[in-house]
Chains A and B, each alone.
Chain A
Amino acid sequence: MAEDSRRAGTPPEERYQASQSTWDKIAESQNFKDLMATKRSFIVPAFIFFVVYYFALPVLVGYAPQFMATRVGWVNLAYLFALSQFFVAWLIAGLYVRAANNFDRLAKDIVEKAVVAKADSSQGGK
């Protein structure tokens, strides 16, 4: 990538550049607001859930060790709860990837519109 090695500090020419007002316009567009709302509606609850679920482990193990030592089959509650963390983490990751396909679709729209708008305006200017 020759352009990269010549001007490392500044973004290379091919990177999308726009004026402040363009960025503001995109950020305030309905499409972008929809994208942010869609992302937030998954990420915020997922984040809160996994943090609470995870910290329940050290809290329970630390402050209720006798209860967590309750035998369940071959093992005990403490081990089962720890093991469940792995599967819950994988499940959340899987759900996120599914939800993120939606984010990608919404984001693609915004990017395409922005690129087309830029091409139009630079042609109009000449």
Chain B
Amino acid sequence: MSVATASEVFDVIVVGAGPAGSTAALLCARAGLKVLLLERGEYPGAKNVSGAAFYGSAILNELIPNWWEQAPVERYICRRDIAFMSSTTSVALDFHCAAEGYTTPPYNGFIVLRPRFDRWLAAQAEAAGAFLLTSAVVDDVLRENGRVVGVRVRREQGEIRGKVVIACDGVNSFLAKKVGLQREFHAHELSLGVKEVLGLDPAIIEDRFRLSGDEGIAYEYLGAITEDVHGGAFLYTNRDSLSLGVIGQVSSLVERRKRPYELLERFKAHPAVAPLVRGAKLREYSAHLIPESGWTMKPTLYTDGMLVAGDAAGFCLAAGLYLEGMNYAMQSGLAAAETAIDACRRERYSARALSGYRKHLKQRNVSTDFRAYRHAPAFVNSARLQNLYPEVVASGMEQLFRVDGSAKRKILPLARQLMRQYQLKPGELLRDGYQVVRAYLW
């Protein structure tokens, strides 16, 4: 499709063909709307990076039944391993689940590679009738009487008119900022992820990680794995490769003057990680920002003629136990699409007409989840949880398990000694306990 033929008015213009944008475009196209899906990369997914653990299988299954049979997926996730690390020790929670829905359809989660998966998803939107235009950067919106009436693509005759614009242009969302819906971010609100895909023979992967067939495992690491930088690390099994990476809060990287790719090298060399990656060969290195602060970086979600969804709206849940973005991108993309479909039916596109987006986000459990876990991101990135507690846990286990002929100590004296050793004060422990309760319990 050439932009010249697009001189007519689209019902919906979606900016960004990631999980939020392609899902929104798919639903709008199915509702019979005339949809334009714009992507700045050479193909959808060309600019996109995440782990990528995708926990939105059931959501996508509503749209495309048995989607995993046709989509490029790596492995389904039936095991998760969450580890507290010190420089020498790892203490992990190992979750292995063969319950229905984990190892059977619709599967709880999949590991995917974004350039392949996102490209496939955008093709589904195209098959539903959306026009996909790649290599198209959107520099600004078109405005008339203060209302958003389209977008300006960076090329000749790049002005394209649309009744509703859905901005799914990612964590740096230039559009949400241009329109005044989003503020500039602070360095403590965003984390940088650096990642490698390392090729490894599938037979070795299955042996080494004790997997059968299409099973996969997701490892997440907290503590000294990022030294004194606030963040964490991950390792996922793909079909014939491993995806691994280190995530560091930007402000913390700056303060500690740490280079992210050096942290990545140290992660691979950690005694608990090195045997997992042995013999693997680098295929691709990548990097991306993550809007980790969730609820606190939520923009104004809509204005006259425009909605914001996905990472552009900060819908990424980084709450320690959960590290989920693609599912919320899709859920918010669907909510935005439902709002746009309503608006087109009623032929009303004002902010008031689009205010139903709030209701749809609630029905799709986006705002409810982010509200419920609004205190978790700050707690997860706090200095004590990042640097102190993993060390205490690791050191405690080291002492508990060490047999050297001296008298065994019971837990209470050991705890007292650890509190002295790490200068933990009962008041601070209580306060942190309260933080956990507030962040996770109710």
Is the pairing of A and B real? no
- B residues lining the A interface (CB < 8 Å): none
